[in-house]
Structure 1
Amino acid sequence: MTRNGPAAPDPTAPDPAAPGSTGPGSTGLDTVAGRYRMLRLVRGFEELALALVRAGEITGGIHPYVGQEAVAVGVCAALRPQDRITSTHRGHGHVLAKGADPGRLLAELLGRTGGLNRGRGGSMHAADFSLGILGANGMVGAGGAIAVGAAWSARQAGEDRVAVAFFGDGALNQGVLLESFNLAAMWRLPVLFVCEDNGYATTLPAATAVAGSATGRAAAFGIPAVEVDGMDTEAVRAAAAEAVERAADGGGPGFLRCRTYRFEGHHTMERLMKLRYRTPEEVADWRTRDPLPRAAALLPPGLAGQLDASVRQQLDAAREFALASEHPSPERALEHLYADGLRPRAGARA
């Protein structure tokens, strides 16, 4: 099943079915203008992070999200503050779109104490439970099981929450993800599985590794599956909103296959390794479908420029905050790693 994008809405009016734009956890994604601003924030954040990697400020590198912003923004625009997400190794966009502070996220990438997790999670494990961000995850497909567990616990507690699991096409062959589909379907849990199909698992083309289809995997478990243009924020939002509403009303899990593309490499180390698995023509062709100009075209003349300027100021402040944040001291390395009562005794091996 393929979904086409909806007619362009009023860019400044809240969506009729939006989860709300005020109160804790608000991201401002209930208007087209707010969604464009978040697209620009995610893109600008990734570009800033890439610059800091090249400057040696962020060690270990990152997995850039440039090009895929419409998926994170579109899906999170359909969520309510109480809903939860699990993310991936390419997770900065999801974390920001769910409402995380860019300064604290950047400090986390830098390994500073002002980070979301005091610098201990880094790029691949950033989390903020207060916003329903249950964590990015360096293990491919692992977030699916966590989202299912979160949905089950919400059901048991009588809480009105939907859980979303983001993952890439490379996770479609992971057993833990298929087991998550099964449990979610058997128990009719309020979960939305979002496959960000960018065509490659590192350097392996999905077409050479995935038998059948992504939507077919979900459909085999009786999970309604929809294919959507992952470069179109409004199309993603519309499809996600329908699935989230159904899940919240007790209709069980849903699945979105968002066809998207990463403009940068799998990881920042890719440039040093000089990997060649995509042609310049392929990348250039996908760049013509960049979600930012498509979203900007829905705005009144001049508004995109104003929002761009606002984002630049926010990112300048984020950079200043992150770089001014302290490095953690080695003697406090084990703090915040263990629950009370489980911390190793002094002198004991961790």
Structure 2
Amino acid sequence: MDQRPRRTRDLGIAVGTLPTGPLNAITDVADVLVGHVTVDDGADLHTGVTAVVPRRLSAGHPALPAAVYVGNGYGKLVGSTQVDELGVLESPIVLTATLSVFRAADALLTYLMDRDPAGVSFNPLVGETNDAHLSDIRRRPVTEEHVLDAVEHASAGLPAEGCVGAGTGTTALGFKAGIGTSSRRVGVDGSVRTVGALVQSNFSGILTVLGVPMPVAELVSQHDREEPPGNSCMIIVATDAPVDARQLGRLARRAVFAMSRVGAAYTNGSGDYAIAFTTAPQPQQPLPDAMIDPLFAAVMDSVEEALLNSLFMAVTTTGVRGRVQHAVPHHRVLQRLVTAGRAGQRQGPGVAGH
């Protein structure tokens, strides 16, 4: 059945009760940009690059507080150990396919060196998931030009979702997946703060929507279904809250925890990573830990919805060796939610109060 991509809320599915930002995207965090380059020949190549670019990173402001959390470390997150050690992000974050991650890191190094001609040490941060089920990954088609294009043309609008950029060839929970994003606004210490998430979904488990299991075997007929092996998930969390690297590590943990809400299995071969950073100027004292709970809730809800968006915005794809990965059938999901009494009223974006 043909269906057009639709975001979670456009299907009438509201995750949580917290209001979203105007775009319901990571770009609701001021000065956070997203760029995609898709490499897709319609046959054996379904891959690409996605870049998250904090605009505040510049020669005059070379680092932002950041942290990485590893749920399961079967992956190649280039640059992560220095983020762990120093608690700062020094580059845009690039996502791509597993065997393209090293070329992407070299390309990002070119970008950084061009902007700091005197620099002798740089830390490009590049994550990946393995899209070999649908794309001929050994061809390593991602080039320096693709990476630089994604970074340099990143924008502040609503990012494309689904089968785009680094999500072009990914699968999750037995269905075609891709890139997803979402945001939340919460009151914290007398101010409205924004939390945004962007995900590259490529992991196994049983799709769960609002607590209702949606096994692929029950939504897609047996003769028309092929399930890929377990894989990975990359999550990027951005906020404008005045938190330090230690607290960002706590936010990153909640991002990986949120995968369980949509049915993630956290398998042996899954590289489940979260990167969190803040664009806020650093005060002498960070937000008191006793006030951080609204940010935790915002992370959990925005990541959950971003993961669902990555699935609902994807389209059925035929890839390498004729493999077909089907999109989640929206009508069957909605039928099951109605049967389970979980279908709620559509909830549009809003802004949290103080």
Asked if TM exceeds 0.5, the reply is no
Greater RCO (CA < 8 Å, at least 6 residues apart): 2
The TM-score, its normalising length taken from structure 2, stands at: 0.26
Q: TM-score, normalised by structure 1?
A: 0.26
Q: Which has the higher helix share?
A: 1
